[in-house]
């Protein structure tokens, strides 16, 4: 049985902290499930960490659906949440169409949207028709061209706006709220004021849960560690060392050996080679 949004909300009430991680394909979804992480986000961060764009802005709904399908196939326990990409929820009708595709074609159980009170009517309508919505405030990557990539809400007026937005999103029916790159004290204050769980990234330990990007957490970059990340592995190094050993074994003839292949009957081989006899 998959985790549900009600399970997630219960976790907040019980004071259980909620781990969440992004995943973008079948294999990683299987690993997340086996690790017992209850929430998978197929984030539009895939535009950057999987597709190599410099922001999430170019990501399309079709690309998201392609990856979400694989994640849903790879997981059985986790609640899978799919990001609605840039410009796919600019009106209620558009949001219904886009979110509907994520649930019906990709099979995710919930969607995530970025933005404050302005998206609350969209959240409300999605929830009314039965689509669970996770909200996302603070640094919202789809607006990077407008707000830059930096901590949001340091000044009193901005912090107040984020609190008001959080309350509007909860009132609209969002089942949880991602807080990205907001000051630790602000995230704590919001978490105390909301009944729904907050999931932080670069927002401190006062949130009800934490989300991290797969590639950041597992050290899949060779050159870059975002400040909000702790590397729990250095897979780029591990993979690179494995690839170098593989290439070296191929070059030296140490791989493959007989155990990596299968043999045929000698007579069948001789028969097969008859028409191609060289002398
Ligand atoms: O796209 C994403 O991965 C996200 C998380 C960073 C919250 O939105």
Domains of the chain (ranges, CATH numbers): 5-237 (3.20.20.60)
Give the atom of ligand 1 at the shortest distance from the alpha carbon of 114. Answer: 8
170 lines ligand 1 (CB under 6 A): no
Give the predicted TM-score (pTM) of the model: 0.95
Burial class of residue 128 in the structure, from the number of CB atoms within 10 Å of its CB (0-12 exposed, 13-18 middle, 19+ buried): exposed
Amino acid 257: pLDDT:
97
Residues 6+ apart with CB under 8 A from 77: 1, 2, 3, 33, 36, 38
Give the atom of ligand 1 at the shortest distance from the alpha carbon of 22. Answer: 3
pLDDT per residue as tens digits for the range 61-72: 999 999 999 999
- 182/151 Cα distance (integer angstroms): 5
Amino acid 222: pLDDT:
73
pLDDT per residue as tens digits for the range 75-132: 999 999 999 999 999 999 999 999 999 999 999 999 999 999 999 999 999 999 999 9
Q: How confident is the model at residue 60 (pLDDT cuts 50, 70, 90)?
A: very high
114 lines ligand 1 (CB under 6 A): no
Burial letters 233-261, b for 16+ CB under 10 A, else e: eebbeeeeeeeeeeeeeeeeeeeeeeeee
Residue 249 — left, alpha, or beta (φ > 0 → left; ψ -120 to 50 → alpha)?
Answer: alpha
Residues 6+ apart with CB under 8 A from 79: 2, 3, 4, 5, 7, 8, 38, 39, 40, 109, 110
Query: Which residues are part of the catalytic machinery?
Result: 180
pLDDT of residue 279 exceeding 90: no
Q: How confident is the model at residue 143 (pLDDT cuts 50, 70, 90)?
A: very high
207 lines ligand 1 (CB under 6 A): no
pLDDT per residue as tens digits for the range 26-45: 999 999 999 999 999 999 99
């Amino acid at each position: 049985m998959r985790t549900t949004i009600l399970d997630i909300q219960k976790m907040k009430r019980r004071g259980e902290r909620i781990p969440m991680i992004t995943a973008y394909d079948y294999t990683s979804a299987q690993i997340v499930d086996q690790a017992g992480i209850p929430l998978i986000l197929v984030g539009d961060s895939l535009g950057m960490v999987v597709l190599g764009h410099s922001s999430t802005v170019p990501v399309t709904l079709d690309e998201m659906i392609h990856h979400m399908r694989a994640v849903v196939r790879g997981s059985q326990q986790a609640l899978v949440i799919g990001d609605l990409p840039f410009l796919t929820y600019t009106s209620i009708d558009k949001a219904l169409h886009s979110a509907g595709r994520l649930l019906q074609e990709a099979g995710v159980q919930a969607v995530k949207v970025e933005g404050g009170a302005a998206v609350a009517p969209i959240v409300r309508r999605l929830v009314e028709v039965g689509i669970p919505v996770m909200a996302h405030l603070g640094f919202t990557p789809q607006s990077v061209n407008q707000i830059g990539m930096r901590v949001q809400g340091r000044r009193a007026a901005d912090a107040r706006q984020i609190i008001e937005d959080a309350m509007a999103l909860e009132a609209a029916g969002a089942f949880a709220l991602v807080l990205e790159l907001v000051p630790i004290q602000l995230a704590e204050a919001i978490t105390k004021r909301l009944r729904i769980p907050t999931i932080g990234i670069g927002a401190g330990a006062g949130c009800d849960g934490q989300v991290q990007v797969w590639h950041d957490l597992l050290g899949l970059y060779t050159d870059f560690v975002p400040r909000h990340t702790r590397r729990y592995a250095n897979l780029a190094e591990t993979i690179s060392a494995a690839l170098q050993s593989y290439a070296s074994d191929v070059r030296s003839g140490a791989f493959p050996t007989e155990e990596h292949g299968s043999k045929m009957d000698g007579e069948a081989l001789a028969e097969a080679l008859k028409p191609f006899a060289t002398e």
